[in-house]
Amino acid sequence: MGGTARKWSKPTTTPQRNSVVSDSGKSMEKLMCSYCNYTTTKKYLLQRHLKSHSTERPHKCIRNFK
């Protein structure tokens, strides 16, 4: 890469939310990825997953492959 820093791009769509009742009777919101079938109840996990759909990477490779 040519020395320019890349930044993560934010998703352009908002995640879909579905209410789910767990075995313990608590109501939990299930968050769904707008690009694939991934679902989670944790917002930070969905945000981390959404980065997998981006072509940009947050870290520069430190190894010089020839």
pLDDT of residue 50: 92
Write the single-letter amino acid at 6: R
Kindly give, in sequence order, each residue whose CB lies less than 8 Å from that of residue 55, ignoring residues fewer than 6 positions away: none
CA 40/CA 15 separation, integer angstroms: 11
Span 7-32, average pLDDT:
64
Higher pLDDT, 51 or 7: 51
Domain boundaries, the chain: 14-42
CA 27/CA 5 separation, integer angstroms: 42
**pLDDT (tens digit, 9 = 90+) per residue, 39-54?**
999 999 999 999 889 8
Distance of CA 62 to the CA centre of its chain: 24
